[in-house]
A and B are shown apart, each in its own frame.
Chain A
Amino acid sequence: MGLFRNVAVVGAGMTRFHNRIHAGKTGRDLFVEAVLEAVDSVDKGFELREAEAIFIGNYSSDCFEGQGHTAAMMADWLGLTPRASTRVEDACASSGVAINMATLAIASGAYDLVIVGGFEKMTEKGTEEATEILAMASDALYEVPVGFTFPGLYAAIATAHFKRYGSSWEELAAISIKNHRNGALNEKAHFQSDIMETARRLGERHNMTFKDELEFLRSPLNPFVAYPLRLFDCCPISDGASALVIASSDIAKKYTDTPIYIKGFGQASDTFSLHNREELTELRATRIAASQAYKMAGVSPEDIDLADVHDCFTIAEVLAVEDLGFFPKGQGGKAALEGRTSLDGEMPINPDGGLKAKGHPVGATGAAMAYEMFKQLRGEAGRRQVDDAEIGLTQNVGASGATVVVQVYGR
């Protein structure tokens, strides 16, 4: 499979992801903010009105904000009518898929310049209601009524993975520790303190002291959400938006000397319900989407220098690094425990803090991963910069893996 012509990212922007600082703002406020930052990031200048179409990932502004038909609304708010504007809904993979759609739209020759991104304003609802809205992305007939929540599905995957491979919760804790450490280096992250700092702060409030991260993570201050997953195994509920300016490679250099090319991409689906999977300890859609992306880019897992993967729950990062081919099955968690996926490790994973620390406004997540690759591959990631980053990968998952989208980026 090849593209009719190549596509590059020439600008990227995102709001900070957070649960409180965007109080009072709406989804449209956040998306406009991200788009304007992306426009202003274009090195040689770019007028928003040069954009010919818009693709927006959004899971459920309908339920979260009572606002549907958000694509047209955003076109209007960006001052871009009468241009075509399209919303993509694939749960937490919405803007990852939107990037593929926008890339295809340019590769086809239909457009030269497109705005693509995503947003979610989630915190207007309380945690329980947000949990209920998120659970709608799993099977409303056969999973939700028998008590499964989003964390619950991944928790069930964790029990199966522990049993089959002898992996452990301590390995999951290592992922949480690493991602919070990375998030502390990212000014756009929801959480910007490492776990020891959080342990000290929470400990003071409860008259408790902790000798290390694990003691804190095993304490009542880190309660179970869905056994065996605890609070610090779960990403937070965040508000935020992200956006990219993408262009055909024919004209990309007109906008920047260092465009970041979308070298390959893939997308796959899987059984909607977890219980219908033949194997519970992997996401088959990740393997398939990745093999498509690797083939199109002409690379293999060994060629990837860094990756942003969908760690909505710590166990999801384990599955991702295994199913993407970075580590053998059963070794994904150990890799984190041994520091191999840390910023200075052989295969840095989630240098931006991942969903765990950076936050997860679901519709914004896929394009925020692309934002990170844009910064990293241009050497603009500041304190979290990965050395010699030339080829990066993003993996964005919808719900419990019924949608997975993978992109490979390169200079």
Chain B
Amino acid sequence: MEEKPFTTSSYREFLESGKIMANRCRSCGNVHLPPRPICPRCGGRSLEWMEIRGRGTLQAFTVIHVPPTRLKGRQPYATGIVKLEEGPSISGLILDVKRGEDIDIGVEAEAIIVREGDGLKLCFRLV
């Protein structure tokens, strides 16, 4: 499908064009997000690009009250891990949530790519 190498910069270039791209191991079928050059399950190096729709369920979360310097002023903000329909899980900011009591594991989430000062961020909106 695509000839790009399975690198961080390829992943970023796809994000720039609005696509979340994983890769899949042709030997064992394992799906990797972010994409990687070697399959951690079987060691396979024959891989192919695969587009992720961005829908999944919340697997774990937190609401950060003491932020690192670069996110100072944004707290409290939520961030979490979403298990995507295609199999892999990924971390992302959870938008519009300020209290841990307001969310729960298992709720559905949808990915959006947001441009912020220091680059593109993978975010999720709860649906």
Which A residues fall within an 8 A CB radius of B? Answer: 127-129, 131-132, 135, 141-149, 151-153, 155-157, 159-160, 163, 223-229, 271, 273-276, 280
Q: Tell me the complex Cα distance, A220–B61, Å.
A: 22
* Nearest Cβ on chain A to B11's Cβ, whole angstroms: 9
Asked whether B34 lies within 8 Å of A142 as measured between CB atoms, the reply is yes
- Assess whether B126 is interfacial by the CB under 8 Å rule: no
Q: Do A159 and B105 touch across chains, with their CB atoms under 8 A apart?
A: yes
- For A145, give the chain B residue with the smallest CB separation: B121
Q: Mark B98-124, 1 if CB is under 8 A from A, else 0.
A: 011000111000000000001101110
Which residues of chain B are within 8 angstroms of A141 by Cβ–Cβ distance?
8, 34
| A143 to B79 alpha-carbon distance, docked (Å) | 9
Given contact pairs A128-B66, A128-B67, a sample of 7 additional A-B residue pairs in the complex whose CB atoms are under 8 Å apart: A143-B91, A144-B68, A224-B63, A225-B66, A227-B62, A227-B63, A280-B60
Q: Report chain B residues within 8 Å CB of A163.
A: 104-106
Q: Which residue of A lies closest to B40 (CB)?
A: A271
CB pair A227–B100 under 8 Å, yes or no, is yes
Q: Which of B40, B67, B99 contacts A147 (CB 8 A)?
A: B67
B64:A152 contact, CB within 8 angstroms: yes
Interface membership of B92, Cβ < 8 A: yes
Q: Residue B71 at the A interface, CB < 8 A? A: yes
From known contacts A142-B91, A163-B105, A271-B40, infer whether A149 and B63 are also in contact, taking CB-CB under 8 Å. no
Chain B residues within an 8 Å CB radius of A132: 68-70
B112 to chain A, nearest CB (A): 12
Bitwise, B68-88 to A at CB < 8 A (1) or not (0) is 111110101101110000001
Number of interface residues of B (CB under 8 A): 39
Q: With A and B bound together, what is the CA distance between A61 and B126 in angstroms?
A: 40
From B67, B89, B92, contact of A146 by CB (8 A): B92
For the complex, give the distance between the alpha carbons of A273 and B32 in Å. Answer: 12
Which residues of chain B from 28 to 81 have any CB-CB distance to chain A below 8 Å in the complex? 34, 40, 59-72, 74, 76-77, 79-81
Cα-based distance from A149 to B79 in the complex (angstroms)? 10
The reply on B93 being an interface residue by CB < 8 A is yes
Interface-centre pick from B60, B71, B72, B89 (highest chain A CB count, 10 A):
B60
User: What are the residues of chain B within 8 A of A156 when measuring CB–CB?
Assistant: 60-62, 79-81
Q: In the complex, which residues of chain A have a beta carbon less than 8 angstroms from the beta carbon of B40?
A: 271, 276
- Given contacts A148-B79, A224-B63, whether A273 and B105 have CB atoms under 8 Å apart is no
Residues of A within 8 A of B80 (CB): 156
Separation in Å of the B14 CB from the closest CB of chain A? 14
Evaluate contact between B68 and A135: CB separation under 8 angstroms.
yes
Whole-angstrom distance between the Cβ of A232 and the nearest chain B Cβ? 14
The residue in B8, B72, B105 that gathers the most chain A C-beta atoms within 10 A of its C-beta is: B105
- Closest approach, in angstroms, between the C-beta of A152 and any C-beta of chain B? 5
- Chain A at the B interface: mostly helix, strand, loop or mixed? helix
Given contacts A132-B69, A160-B105, A280-B59, contact A226 B90 (CB under 8 A): no
Contact B66 A151 (CB under 8 A): yes
Chain B residues whose CB sits within 8 angstroms of the CB of A160 once the complex forms = 59-60, 105
Q: In whole angstroms, how far apart are the Cα atoms of A280 and B59 in the complex? A: 9
Q: Is the CB of B63 within 8 A of A276?
A: no
A146 & B60 in contact (Cβ 8 Å cutoff): no
Contact B65–A226 (Cβ < 8 Å): yes
Chain A residues, Cβ within 8 Å of B69:
128-129, 131-132
Distance between Cα atoms of A191 and B124 in the complex (Å): 39
Question: Complex formed: what's the CA distance from A11 to B85 in Å?
Answer: 55
A131 engages B91 (CB within 8 Å) = no
Given the known interface contacts A145-B118, A271-B40, the answer about A280 and B81 at a Cβ–Cβ threshold of 8 Å is: yes
Chain A CB count within 10 A is highest, among B8, B34, B63, B68, for B68
Assess whether B66 is in contact with A226, with CB atoms less than 8 Å apart: yes
Measured CB to CB, the nearest residue on chain B to A155 is B62
Task: Point out the residues of chain A lying under 8 angstroms from B90, CB to CB.
Answer: 142, 275
Question: Which of B65, B91, B121, B123 makes the CB contact (< 8 A) with A273?
Answer: B91
CB distance from B118 to the nearest CB of A (A): 7
Q: Within the complex, what minimum Cβ distance (angstroms) separates A271 from chain B?
A: 7
CB distance from B47 to the nearest CB of A (A): 16
CB pair B105–A152 under 8 Å, yes or no, is no
Interface centre among A142, A147, A160 (most CB of B within 10 A): A147
Measured between beta carbons, the chain B residues less than 8 angstroms from A274 are 60, 81, 91
A146 to B93, CA, bound (A): 5
Contacting pair A127 B66 (CB below 8 A): yes
Q: Using CB atoms, name the residue of chain A closest to B100.
A: A227
